[in-house]
């Protein structure tokens, strides 16, 4: 590996020796595909016939009227097959797996969206599939576990460490280091060792390519601000990429959890709690203690509940090109509720972070201003968490009844 994937001081490839040759192969296959114009065409073709690309942009007229500030538009990644932007990355990597001639894929998942997308791709392309998911996330995203298993994937519950996304990533690496001859690790976000940050953002850049054209057509100009939630950072990089050279304020929204001041959050770039470190094969800001031990993170959204962040985003945080903010669990629930009622849109808890920040800022802007929110996924998977948050009595009665039915 000659180019080691550095973005200023962030990124790199801190690999155990056993995986070096696997990464060399991956870098080569990715570079060859990238230089082959037929590859992107094939990718776009599958995404438009198997998934729902191009996904539309929706003018959120009721939210716009409600706040009386900026005009609000929403990029609808929730309309992808499997319900999130994750499909973009997964189908892209699936095409590379075919080129490499491997027969099995593995993936980590937090919210379960990446796991479902990977299991779907594996079913479609005929690969064996194993998904690693932290025990905490298995509990809070049960519907997605059900679908992964129906799709033929083996779902392994990870009981190590903090039992969330980072621990699922560690277990995926342990599987990969054992089975790399037959197996590709479909990392779900723009993190990890080179070439993953570059490769995942390359496939996700389809979001921004579409969105830039659509917003110019529909709104008659570039947006003033774009909002995207940031867990690992793949949906944010996907939409931001096309606007980096434009005079557009790019806003990444991290999980504020119970509030930055409580320490119970997953904000790496918008809080002062993170520092530069090296883990999971790359260098970036991590939520860690002074010894370099990773800390427990917290978010209502499993997909944002992660200790690290894309090295590409860490770079833009340092240069100031992207502004980072945090939305708390409470703010997210309120934004979610309002969006459902006003627009009939059900964003995933992850995506609702982008809405929360946008809705905080929109009132202070004018109707001349345009804002664009990336709705990275749909919220169906969150039915249990959202029902709990609203303490919905009819839902609780239904669940009790259902449980009794199983005892019968």
Partner 1 sequence: MLESYLDNRLKQKEILLMTHIVLGYPTFEDAFKIIESMVNAGVDLMELQIPFSEPIADGPVILHANQKALAKGATVKKCVDFAKTVAETFEIPFLFMSYYNILFKYGVERFVDTMAENGLQGAIVPDLPPEEGKDYLEAMDKHRLSPILIFSPSTSDERMNYLGAFGRGFIYCVARKGVTGVDTDFSRQLENYLVRCRKATDLPLALGFGVKERADIDFLKGKADIAVIGSETIRLVDKEGVGAVEAFIKTLR
What's the CA angle centered on 394, arms 388 and 399, to 5 degrees? Answer: 70
Residue located via tokens 């996304």:
165
DSSP 297-339: ---SSGGG--S---HHHHHHHHHTSEEEEEEEHHHHHHHHHHH
Give whichever of 183 and 271 is closer to partner 1, judged by the CB atom: 183
275 makes contact with partner 1 (CB under 8 A)? yes
Find the binder of partner 1 among 182, 262, 293, 366 (CB under 8 A): 293
174 makes contact with partner 1 (CB under 8 A)? yes
Tell me the C-alpha distance between 356 and 373, whole Å.
10
182 makes contact with partner 1 (CB under 8 A)? no
The catalytic residue among 51, 77, 102, 108 is 108
Find the binder of partner 1 among 245, 261, 291, 401 (CB under 8 A): 291
Q: Lay out the site mask for partner 1 across 105-144 (x = CB under 8 A, - = otherwise).
A: ----------------------------------------
As measured in angstroms, the least distance from the Cβ of 21 to partner 1 is 5
Give whichever of 236 and 307 is closer to partner 1, judged by the CB atom: 307
CA neighbours closer than 13 Å in the CB half-sphere of residue 201: 22
- Beta strands 183-185; 104-109: pairing state: parallel
Task: Count CB-CB contacts under 10 A for residue 320.
Answer: 7
Contact (CB, 8 A) for 249 and 262: no
CA neighbours closer than 13 Å in the CB half-sphere of residue 238: 31
Tell me the C-alpha distance between 236 and 230, whole Å.
6
Please indicate whether residue 108 is annotated as part of the active site.
Answer: yes
Q: Specify the stretch interacting with partner 1 by CB under 8 A; choose among 13-21, 54-62, 128-136, 378-386.
A: 13-21
Contact (CB, 8 A) for 97 and 251: no
Find the binder of partner 1 among 143, 263, 277, 395 (CB under 8 A): 277
Give whichever of 179 and 360 is closer to partner 1, judged by the CB atom: 179
Q: Specify the stretch interacting with partner 1 by CB under 8 A; choose among 31-39, 292-300, 319-327, 369-377.
A: 292-300
22 makes contact with partner 1 (CB under 8 A)? yes
39 makes contact with partner 1 (CB under 8 A)? no
9 makes contact with partner 1 (CB under 8 A)? no
Contact (CB, 8 A) for 160 and 171: yes
Q: Specify the stretch interacting with partner 1 by CB under 8 A; choose among 16-24, 195-203, 351-359, 387-395.
A: 16-24
Sheet of strand 225-229, all strands in order from the earlier edge strand to the far edge: 57-59, 71-76, 370-375, 225-229, 249-257, 322-328
Contact (CB, 8 A) for 249 and 240: no
20 makes contact with partner 1 (CB under 8 A)? yes
CA neighbours closer than 13 Å in the CB half-sphere of residue 263: 4
Please indicate whether residue 34 is annotated as part of the active site.
Answer: no
Please indicate whether residue 376 is annotated as part of the active site.
Answer: yes
Give whichever of 169 and 312 is closer to partner 1, judged by the CB atom: 169
As measured in angstroms, the least distance from the Cβ of 145 to partner 1 is 22
As measured in angstroms, the least distance from the Cβ of 122 to partner 1 is 22
- How many residues touch partner 1 under the rule CB under 8 A: the total is 37
DSSP character for 242? G
Q: Lay out the site mask for partner 1 across 148-167 (x = CB under 8 A, - = otherwise).
A: ------------xx----x-
Helix (H) or strand (E) holding 275: strand 275-279
Contact (CB, 8 A) for 304 and 255: yes
Q: Specify the stretch interacting with partner 1 by CB under 8 A; choose among 129-137, 178-186, 197-205, 333-341.
A: 178-186
Contact (CB, 8 A) for 239 and 374: yes
Residues known to be catalytic: 86, 108, 376
Positions in the binding site for partner 1 (CB under 8 A): 1, 4, 12-22, 160-161, 166, 170, 173-174, 177-181, 275, 277-281, 286, 288, 290-294
């Amino acid at each position: 590996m000659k180019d080691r994937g550095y973005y200023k001081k962030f990124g790199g490839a801190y690999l155990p020796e056993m995986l070096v040759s696997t990464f060399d192969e991956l870098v080569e296959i990715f570079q060859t595909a990238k230089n082959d114009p037929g590859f992107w065409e094939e990718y776009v073709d599958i995404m438009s016939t198997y998934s729902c690309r191009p996904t539309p942009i929706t003018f959120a007229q009721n939210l716009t009227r409600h706040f009386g500030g900026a005009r609000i538009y929403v990029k609808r990644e929730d309309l992808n097959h499997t319900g999130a932007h994750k499909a973009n990355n997964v189908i892209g990597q699936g095409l590379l797996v075919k080129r490499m001639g491997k027969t099995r894929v593995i993936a980590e998942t937090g919210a379960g969206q990446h796991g479902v997308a990977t299991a779907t791709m594996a079913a479609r392309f005929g690969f064996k599939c194993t998904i690693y998911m932290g025990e905490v996330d298995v509990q809070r995203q049960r519907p997605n576990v059900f679908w992964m298993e129906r799709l033929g994937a083996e779902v392994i519950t990870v009981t190590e460490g903090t039992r969330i996304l980072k621990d699922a990533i560690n277990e995926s690496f342990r599987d990969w280091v054992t089975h790399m001859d037959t197996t590709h690790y479909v990392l779900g976000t723009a993190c990890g060792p080179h070439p993953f940050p570059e490769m995942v953002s390359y496939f996700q850049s389809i979001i921004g390519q579409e969105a830039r054209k659509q917003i110019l057509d529909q709104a008659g100009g570039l947006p003033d601000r774009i909002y995207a939630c940031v867990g690992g950072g793949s949906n944010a990089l996907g939409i931001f990429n096309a606007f980096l050279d434009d005079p557009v304020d790019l806003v990444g929204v991290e999980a504020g959890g119970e509030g930055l001041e409580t320490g119970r959050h997953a904000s790496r770039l918008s809080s002062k709690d993170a520092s530069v470190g090296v883990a999971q094969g790359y260098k970036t800001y991590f939520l860690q203690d002074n010894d370099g031990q990773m800390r427990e993170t917290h978010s209502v959204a499993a997909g944002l509940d992660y200790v690290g962040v894309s090295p590409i985003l860490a770079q833009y945080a340092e240069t100031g090109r992207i502004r980072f903010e945090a939305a708390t669990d409470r703010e997210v629930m309120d934004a979610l509720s309002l969006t459902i009622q006003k627009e009939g849109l059900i964003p995933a808890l992850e995506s609702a972070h982008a809405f929360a920040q946008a809705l905080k800022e929109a009132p202070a802007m004018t109707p001349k201003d345009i804002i664009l929110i990336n709705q990275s996924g749909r919220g169906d998977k969150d039915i249990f968490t959202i029902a709990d948050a609203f303490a919905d009595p009819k839902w609780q009665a239904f669940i009790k009844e259902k449980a009794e039915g199983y005892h019968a």
